[in-house]
Amino acid sequence: MRGSKVDQSDWRNGVHLDRNAADMLREVGNIGAAHAATSLSEMLRQRVTMEVPRVEFIPFDDVTEILGGPEQVVACVYLRMQGEVTGSIFFIQTVSAAKQLMALLELSKDALAPFSEIEMSALGEIGNIMAASYLGSLTDLTHLTMFPSVPLVAVDMAQAVLNVGLQQDNPIGNYALIIHNSIHHHMAREDAHLFLLPDPGTQEALVRALGIEGLA
């Protein structure tokens, strides 16, 4: 099903991401996310688990489905991926999931109150640490430099915040390549999500670098 989704957009848009490349990116996502999970686990002093990442071309209008639809209010940390491979990174979860995370860090007493300044900056810092460890492991793997920008935090409709990662001029039309990791910590009822969206055109560099490393 996952493979067929990639193949389908191959057929539709002439995108050259074959199953092999998708497998490589999945492996990259796996390793990156494992490092990110480890740092989150250290922060929370809790076991954090991670699903095998999905690598998919998703139509813009469907990107938010995983979060509960375009209008679902989410807490979102956005970082630009900078260096030899550019793109967008989102650490994103529902408001209630983010509040649980804050409670674990003993930063939040009120799950219903709006996010305080401290909570917003703590969210940003968590996103920052996860993105940095994710990209650090990708750099080790590919020898391509990748590092995150300062984290930006917003709490609003999923579609509105994710838009910022979909604005790049895109040769493949209204599709985004997304490496998606679901993150689960012990106390949470809902998963948090780490999205990596390589800019169109730079994903080839990533795949090529991985090919040279003999992965896949």
Partner 1 sequence: MMYKVGMADAKVAGSGDSLRTLGLGSCVGVALYDHRLKIGGLLHVMLPASGGKTELPAKYVDTGIPYVINLMKDAGAQTRHMIAKLAGGAQMFALTTGSDIVRVGPRNVEAVRRWLDEMGIPIVATDVGGSVGRTVELFTDTGAFSIRTAQFGERFL
- Judged by CB under 8 A, does residue 115 bind partner 1? no
∠ Cα 195 196 200 (to 5°): 135
- Judged by CB under 8 A, does residue 30 bind partner 1? no
**Which residues from 72-91 bind partner 1, rule CB under 8 A?**
73, 78, 80
| Cβ neighbours around 112 below 10 Å, total | 7
Residue 58: Cβ-neighbour burial (10 angstroms; 0-12, 13-18, 19+):
buried
In the structure encoding, which two tokens stand for residue 48, read together?
């954090």
- Judged by CB under 8 A, does residue 173 bind partner 1? yes
Size of the site for partner 1 (CB under 8 A): 27
Question: Maximum distance among all alpha carbons in the chain?
Answer: 51
| Cβ neighbours around 152 below 10 Å, total | 14
- Judged by CB under 8 A, does residue 154 bind partner 1? yes
SS3 55: strand
| Piece of the chain touching partner 1 by CB under 8 A; list 20-28, 163-171, 182-190, 202-210 | 163-171
CB of 198 to partner 1, least distance (A): 15
Residues that bind partner 1 (CB under 8 A): 60-61, 64, 69-71, 73, 78, 80, 149, 152-154, 156-164, 166-167, 169, 173-174
